[in-house]
Structure 1
Amino acid sequence: MGAAHTFELPYLFGLDDFEPLTRTQHRLSDRMIDIWTGFAHKGRAPWKPTTPAAPNTQSLASGPNGIRPVDFAANHHYAFWTSLR
């Protein structure tokens, strides 16, 4: 299904309105909380900032590839969306 608005909430706040997290999801939750609290404390994330010249995007997906940089344009189907103008 991919990422959508509010999908991060059970990972960050342990809300009871969602299915319980799996062991893998708990590990991702712990990592996400580390990243978010580090950002709140230090004002920076553990990856390169996004700029117009370098649109860095970080994937926080769990799975075999883990947390990693991804191609912003490809991941967000930029060519498709701009073709609709």
Structure 2
Amino acid sequence: MSSAPPVELFKGKDWEECDNFIRAIRARALWEGKQRDLTWMADFAAPQFSQKALSWHCRLPEDVQQDWSKLVIALLDRWPFPEDDDK
């Protein structure tokens, strides 16, 4: 049996780190058979926040912290895709 996909700590550095974090949480949830369990995904992601991302996460409303679909939107709002990358 293969090992679980790794999830690195998310420090809130930039868009690329955010993208990698979201994809890692999704991959892990799929591996665990939890890809439709938005509460599980949010709970799994919570201890992976570190440094300025941890400070940001702790200040989110509880309903956002506990729902992966809302948390992803908040992540993408805070660390948006750079406009220059479309070119």
When the two structures are superposed, what TM-score results if normalisation uses the length of structure 1? 0.32
Q: Which protein is richer in helix relative to its size?
A: 2
Higher relative contact order (CA 8 A, sep 6+): 2
| Structure 2 length-normalised TM | 0.31
Structure with greater Cα Rg = 1
